[in-house]
Amino acid sequence: MKRDSFFKGAFLMILSACLVKIGGALFKVPLSSILGGSGMGLFMASYSVFNPFFALFVSGLSPAVSSFVARLRILKGQKAADDLRYAGIFFFSLYGIAVFLLFIFLIPTFSSVAGEEKLVSCLYTMAPCLLFCSIGSVIKGGFEGNLIMKPTAFSQLAEVFSKFVLGIFLAKSCVSKSFLEFFSFARINKKAVSNLKDAMDEIIPLATDNALKGVTWASFISCAFLLVLYFAERRKNKIIPNFRLFKDSFKILKYSIPICLSSLIVSLYPTIDMYSFLNIFSKIFEKNQSLPKVFSFLTEEGIELFEIPAFLYGCCSGLAFTIFHFVPALTSSLSVAILPQISSYYASGDRRKTAVIINGIIKSVAFVAMPIGMGMFFMPKEVLTFFFPKSSLEILAAIPFLKVLGPASLFVGLSSPLFAALQGMGMPKTPTLILSFFLAVKLLLNIVLTNGPLGPLASVYSTLICYIFIFILTSKYLFYVLGEGFSFLHLLLKPFLLSLAACQMTKIVYSCLETTLKNPLALMISVIFGAFMYILSIFLTGEFKQEYIKILYCDKNK
């Protein structure tokens, strides 16, 4: 396969990330109607247990392999990089089996801690995903290290499509078959059932388990797709695996540990917010029953006082954060593309070119993330109504959260590729230390600010504050290591001004259209107009230097 330039690789990864997000959302719509509230609760609870385990043991494999392969390709040649890739497949297959068996062993403990016996069957169903993802991650990392992004993008699309088709089909088939068995023989899965309520109690866990079987099969299909590409390439290049490189595979595993820990720490940030809402704020509100003025309307809408903390948490996490996470999803895709580039340049000793590409990435992310973040800030009601048209009360409650999360999304988006750059430069522990420190800072800020006038808004303000300092600290450290200068004003001022102008034009167009057109259409036309003017202004100002363009869009790091 031909190598991709950074631009082509990043475009493929962003496109696949968007399609995966859309596919995941579409998957949950029919699934929720099949499983109902309790079934979806069990489905999401299974992921709540599985995801931290996956983050701790598997999430760091792909970037670690990508970084090692990119460095070896520059320092020792393509053959050495290929030898490591092929030896790594066998090694990490064994590793995947070990992780799979460990998860199987711990399932009864997880179920006991969660206090839900029905989780046991669901977690056993999901366990093979750890093996398939371990193998798939290593293959993807190998291709990414050679600047080939197509296998990663297409395998993600294959997985989300398979999950949608198989998950819905298996869940729906299970429900239909179980109802037929109940009405014909008064039993479910060979167990006697006397009434419809008891039948539903039996059917919902079975249907949830079958939906998760679809998820597991999708993971297998993605892994099989990557294995086919791997063996086809091996046969074409006539490469014989060198199993003496097992010690290098151990180095990759050791390198992946801090990356896995970083993923785990990031997953704990929402947990702190949940604790702030449902524990700290709930107790404070129970004592004084006072809310910030922006939420005063809730008491007039007939919501019980004791329900307000949980209601606000649902609006913040379910509405505001759902939109907020769109920017990190895009920039994490850029991180996949940047990591092998940084590894290659830094391994070759070209620190100046490494600094140039990091400058280019910061500016690229700023140009993508800043107008989206400003859109959340200036037009929160319109954006929320577009995505959640039937949740009018929830939208009003989510607006104050989204106004703060808009600017925060920029700094979260900027931090992700900077962490990838540090990992590519052989410093994977640095992001872990930074994230760990600010995890403690966020907890402290949540406690202090929740007890003040901000109340429930403390969680979003602490997110904004923490990620501003994470971005400043990470970027300053990066350029200190590289021995190059760095100017926030130079990199972010023009994106800020152009984004501000584009957002104001979008808002003006929307205000002219909203009287004649409904929200979805009026907002879409306004955003398209604003985006066109924004892109045009970028080209007219000649913001991207020729040096950025040559490296980011043309150079394939041969």
pLDDT at residue 470 in the model = 92
pLDDT over 80 (residue 261): yes
Residue among 322, 320, 508 at smallest CA distance from 396: 320
pLDDT at residue 128 in the model = 94
pLDDT-derived band at 132, boundaries 50, 70, 90: very high
pLDDT-derived band at 199, boundaries 50, 70, 90: low
Residue among 464, 406, 343, 395 at smallest CA distance from 6: 343
Backbone angles phi, psi at 302, to 5 degrees: 85, 10
pLDDT at residue 217 in the model = 95
pLDDT at residue 355 in the model = 81
CA distance 382 to 520: 9
CA distance 285 to 455: 9
Element (H, E) at 378: helix 351-378
pLDDT at residue 265 in the model = 87
Specify which residues 192 forms β-bridges with.
Answer: 187
The mean pLDDT of 522-530, rounded to a whole number, is: 89
pLDDT at residue 300 in the model = 72
Contact residues for 277 (Cβ-Cβ < 8 A; gap 6+): 309, 310, 312, 313, 316, 456, 459
pLDDT-derived band at 307, boundaries 50, 70, 90: confident
Contact 132, 327 (CB under 8 A): no
pLDDT at residue 486 in the model = 65
Contact residues for 417 (Cβ-Cβ < 8 A; gap 6+): 331, 334, 335, 338, 361, 362, 365
pLDDT at residue 241 in the model = 56
Instruction: Please state the separation of Cα 368 from the chain's center in Å.
Output: 17
Among 356-365, 399-408, 528-537, the minimum mean pLDDT is found in 356-365
Ranges 128-142, 227-241, 541-555, most confident? 128-142
Ranges 87-96, 482-491, 505-514, most confident? 505-514
pLDDT over 90 (residue 131): yes
Which is more confidently placed, 76 or 289?
Answer: 76
pLDDT over 70 (residue 543): no
Among 229-233, 489-493, 507-511, the minimum mean pLDDT is found in 489-493
Contact residues for 495 (Cβ-Cβ < 8 A; gap 6+): 363, 366, 367, 370, 543
Provide the angle, in degrees to the nearest 10, between the axes of the packed helices 61-75 and 392-424.
Answer: 30
The mean pLDDT of 315-343, rounded to a whole number, is: 80
The mean pLDDT of 140-150, rounded to a whole number, is: 84
Q: Sign of the CA dihedral 363, 367, 368, 369?
A: positive
pLDDT at residue 186 in the model = 64
The mean predicted confidence, pLDDT, of the chain is: 81
In the chain, the N- to C-terminal Cα span, in Å, equals 13
* Token reading at 486: 């760095």
CA-based radius of gyration for the chain:
25
The residue type at 44? M
Placement of tokens 């800072």 in the chain = 441
pLDDT over 70 (residue 447): yes
The mean pLDDT of 78-98, rounded to a whole number, is: 80
Percent of the chain whose predicted confidence (pLDDT) is above 90? 14
pLDDT over 90 (residue 176): no
Which is more confidently placed, 452 or 501?
Answer: 501
CB-based contacts of 238-241 (< 8 A; 24+ apart in sequence) = 239/79, 239/82, 239/83, 239/86, 241/83, 241/86, 241/87, 241/89, 241/90
* Token reading at 540: 């007219």
Helix (H, G, I), strand (E, B) or coil at 194: coil
pLDDT over 80 (residue 286): no
pLDDT-derived band at 113, boundaries 50, 70, 90: confident
Percent of the chain whose predicted confidence (pLDDT) is above 70? 87
pLDDT-derived band at 216, boundaries 50, 70, 90: very high
CA distance 308 to 288: 13
pLDDT at residue 480 in the model = 84
Placement of tokens 């750059």 in the chain = 421
b/e map 135-169, b = 16+ CB within 10 Å: bbbbbbbbbbbbbbbbbbbbbbbbbbbbbbebbbe
pLDDT at residue 242 in the model = 57
Placement of tokens 């999430």 in the chain = 59
CA atoms within 13 A on the CB side of 140: 29
pLDDT-derived band at 235, boundaries 50, 70, 90: confident
pLDDT-derived band at 214, boundaries 50, 70, 90: very high
Residue among 529, 502, 500 at smallest CA distance from 513: 529
CA atoms within 13 A on the CB side of 293: 0
pLDDT-derived band at 490, boundaries 50, 70, 90: confident
pLDDT over 90 (residue 184): no
The mean pLDDT of 222-235, rounded to a whole number, is: 86
